[in-house]
């Protein structure tokens, strides 16, 4: 069983802890936050919930507690206000990351670092440069949420369980995300063939694209933050890592030549296990998807350069 440290006990960090506890992942969870009272309050509330689940040691701590953590989840920093893009958070959250990385360098003996804070691609790349870790062990939630939203929208349209829809979003977790329509299948049947078989019109791609791309803005406008879906997404990733499941998930991390790119982090379908990102899959892309990916990578390279990476 593993020890997990969650840095940032806000909406996302606390919801991730809740999801981990509910599914019995991790035997020790430490919550660290500049707002110590918030971390303590969340730990007390979550601790009370363990009588209904499985025993977990959960507490508020500080960086001296991360030494032997197997997995660190980084969810500290600013979230988007209504209308702000994820990239608008770059300067503020890179500053938070630099401060925390300095402390991790002193206290953490190493393990897996899972980045969540936005813009998650840029932060994952910067983290991989700041910390002396095997690049496979630094990963970010990337487009796991976008892929989940894509699959949910397609499941609503086709009437098939989202778990039987294979549909990926790659590139930036942000405005330039790339929906891989050309590779979407329902239980292995190309989406368009499935629609034909079922007598359905082809889905309205523009509408679904907007649903996926605008999801965070839509939710933030109404309730100020998104945390349930990402909380469960983090839980899913922790499960793949801690149980060495070799699951295909669209995480982000520094790429090493996939589609000819390097020196940048973006999401790709990736086999995830105990060592982190084991290998990435290079799906054939349509020429439109290639072009969209180029735009997405250029956007990320520019954002990285603006913070000196």
Ligand X SMILES: NC(=O)C1=CN([C@@H]2O[C@H](COP(=O)(O)OP(=O)(O)OC[C@H]3O[C@@H](n4cnc5c(N)ncnc54)[C@H](O)[C@@H]3O)[C@@H](O)[C@H]2O)C=CC1
Catalytic residues: 173
* Cα dihedral 241, 49, 73, 143 sign: positive
Q: Token match 């299948």: residue?
A: 185
Smallest gap, in angstroms, from Cβ of residue 137 to ligand CC(=O)C(=O)O?
A: 23
Peptide bond between residue 119 and the one before it cis (omega within 30 degrees of 0) = yes
Element spanning 136, H or E: none
Q: Which does 91 bind (CB under 5 to 8 A by kind): ligand CC(=O)C(=O)O, ligand X, none?
A: none
Sheet containing 185-186: order of strands: 165-166, 185-186, 189-190
For position 90 contacting ligand CC(=O)C(=O)O by CB under 6 A, the verdict is no
- Has 11 been labeled as part of a binding site? yes
Q: Which of 226, 280, 296, 304 binds ligand CC(=O)C(=O)O (CB under 6 A)?
A: 226
176: Cβ–Cβ under 8 A, 6 or more apart, which residues? 292, 295, 296, 299
The DSSP secondary-structure symbol of 24 reads: T
Q: What is the DSSP string of 65-99?
A: G-TT-SEEEE--S--PPTT--SGGGHHHHHHHHHH
Smallest gap, in angstroms, from Cβ of residue 86 to ligand CC(=O)C(=O)O?
A: 6
For position 96 contacting ligand X by CB under 6 A, the verdict is yes
Note the residues at the interface with ligand X (CB under 6 A): 7-13, 33-35, 38, 75-80, 89, 93, 96, 99-100, 116-118, 120, 141, 145, 173, 225-227, 230
Known binding-site residue numbers for NAD(+): 8-13, 33, 38, 63, 77-78, 93, 116-118, 141
Known binding-site residue numbers for substrate: 80, 86, 118-121, 146-149, 226
Note the residues at the interface with ligand CC(=O)C(=O)O (CB under 6 A): 86, 118, 145, 216, 226
């Amino acid at each position: 069983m593993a020890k997990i440290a969650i840095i940032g006990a806000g909406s996302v960090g606390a919801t991730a802890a809740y999801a981990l506890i509910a599914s019995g992942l991790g035997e020790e969870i430490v919550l660290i936050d500049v707002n110590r009272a918030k971390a303590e309050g969340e730990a007390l509330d979550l601790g009370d919930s363990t009588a209904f689940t499985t025993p977990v040691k959960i507490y508020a701590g500080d960086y001296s507690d991360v030494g032997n953590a197997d997995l660190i989840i980084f969810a500290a920093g600013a979230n988007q206000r209504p209308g702000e893009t994820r990239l608008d958070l770059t300067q503020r959250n890179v500053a938070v990351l630099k401060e925390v990385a300095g402390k991790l360098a002193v206290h953490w003996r190493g393990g897996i670092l899972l980045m969540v804070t936005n813009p998650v691609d840029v932060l994952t790349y910067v983290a991989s440069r700041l910390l002396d870790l095997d690049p496979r062990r630094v990963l970010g939630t990337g487009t796991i949420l976008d892929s989940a939203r894509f699959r949910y929208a397609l499941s609503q349209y086709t009437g098939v369980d989202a778990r039987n829809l294979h549909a990926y979003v790659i590139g930036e977790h942000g405005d330039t995300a790339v929906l891989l329509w050309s590779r979407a299948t329902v239980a292995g049947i190309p989406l368009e063939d499935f629609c034909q078989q079922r007598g359905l019109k082809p889905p309205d791609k523009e509408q679904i694209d907007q649903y996926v791309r605008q999801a965070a803005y839509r939710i933030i406008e109404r309730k100020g933050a998104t945390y349930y879906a990402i909380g469960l997404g983090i839980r899913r990733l922790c499960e793949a890592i801690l149980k060495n499941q070799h699951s295909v998930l669209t995480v982000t991390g520094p790429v090493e030549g996939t589609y000819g790119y390097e020196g940048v982090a973006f999401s790709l379908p990736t086999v995830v296990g105990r060592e982190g990102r084991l290998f990435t899959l290079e799906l054939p892309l349509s020429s439109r998807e290639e072009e969209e990916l180029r735009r997405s990578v250029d956007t990320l390279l520019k954002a990285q350069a603006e913070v000196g990476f």
